[in-house]
Each structure stands twice: as C-alpha cells, then as structure tokens.
Amino acid sequence: MAMANPVDLLDNEVELVGKLLERIESEKEQGKGELSVRVLDVGCGTGRLSIYLNEKAGCDVTGIDMLQKKLEKAKTRCSGSGNVAFEMQSAEEMGFRNDVFDVVVSLKALHEIPDPEAALKESNRVLNARRGRILIIDWVGGTAKTSTHTHAPKYFTPAGLEKMLSESGFVNTRVELNREGELMLAEGRKKSGQKQIKI
C-alpha cells in the first residue's frame, strides 16, 4: 500500500525512497552537532525527491538538472520550502567545490545522463571526504518488467551499477531491489579521507 505524501511519489518509488530516507536519517544521527545533512540531487527533474527529503528529513538540498523547463517546475513546486535550491548544471562537470555535500542522491535519472561514469566520479569529488555517501535509485536493466521501456538499452544491471560505483572510487557498495524487482537502490561511500581534485 502506497503512503500518501505531499510530492506525489509514484507507487513503485515509495519502497526504495523510504529506504533512502532511512539511510539519510542515519547520517543525521551520526553527524551530531551538525545542523543539517547537505544533499545533492543529481538529475532532479521537477524536484520531487529534493522537496521530499527537505520536508521529511529537514535536509539542505540542492537539485541539479540540465532541463530548464523541469527546473522551473521544481522551483514553482518548492516555493515556500526552505533550504531547497535548484540549479542548471551538468552532472558530468559540476561547478561545486570539493567535499561540499554529505549525501548525493538520484531518482531514476542516472540512465539518462550521457556519461554516467563521469557523473559518478563528479559525485564522489563533491562528497564530504569524512562521511560522504551516494544513494541512487534507478530501473533494473535486463528484466522482463523493464525490457519494454523506451530507455531499456540504457538501464544498468545491479552488478553493472555496483561495478561502476566501485570504479568511480566508492567503497562499501551494495545494491538492493524493490519487491517487484524493477527498481534498485545502489549505494556506496566515499573512501575515508579520500580527496579528489577538480581537473
């Protein structure tokens, strides 16, 4: 049964977004003394996940996307929501300095980014070197449920996405599927003390 929420998560998103929220709440508990968890939403689209994380967990969220029309909708949707900002930026070449975010999230967007590996490396760079974490929800490639989707050739297998996270410098990677097996939550941590220089 889908829970009601103010930003209209789709039925198939509720389960894994709930788990993503639990992981972020655990980051808040570990960061005692810090005011808020700083979250970057990559491929934020119309801002559903950004606004949800701000409302449910009080995160400071910055959403980035390359589609102006979607960003305009996101800004309209979040008017009145504190600590949520939206910017037009490329996921593969972000304008943020190193080590600025605690968590990077993405909801059904990684497969649409032209160079997903570059986006993951950039995500690693902008994450906090002390406790940075990435949490990605995307479609599972190669299953009967997703094989008819328009973007089916671009979807990742769980093993493929986990490997890409590792190759992008993340450690403690793991992937779990939702009950229907059509969406996955992939996560990893920035290697402790790892510093990356923007080229």
CB 89 within 8 A of CB 123: no
Q: What is the CATH number of the domain that holds 70?
A: 3.40.50.150
Structural domain contains residue 199: no
Higher pLDDT, 131 or 94: 94
Q: How far apart are CA 128 and CA 130, in angstroms?
A: 5
Is 19's pLDDT higher than 50? yes
Distance linking the first and last C-alpha atoms of the chain: 47
Say if residue 5's pLDDT is above 70: no
* pLDDT tens digit sequence for 133-189: 999 999 999 988 899 998 899 999 999 999 999 999 999 999 999 999 999 999 999
79 within 8 A of 110, measured Cβ to Cβ = no
Token look-up 């992008």 returns 168
Give the per-residue pLDDT at 192: 76
Cβ proximity of 193 and 176 under 8 Å:
no
CB contact at 8 A, 177 and 184: yes
pLDDT, tens digit, 9 for 90 and up, residues 23-75: 999 887 776 556 689 999 999 999 999 999 999 999 999 999 999 999 999 99
**pLDDT band per the 50, 70, 90 thresholds, residue 4:** very low
CA distance 42 to 57: 18
Q: What is the pLDDT, as a whole number, of residue 79?
A: 73
pTM of the complete model: 0.91
Q: Is residue 132 in a domain?
A: yes
- State whether residue 40 is helix, strand or coil: strand
Which range of residues forms the domain containing residue 178?
A: 11-189
Domain count, the chain: 1
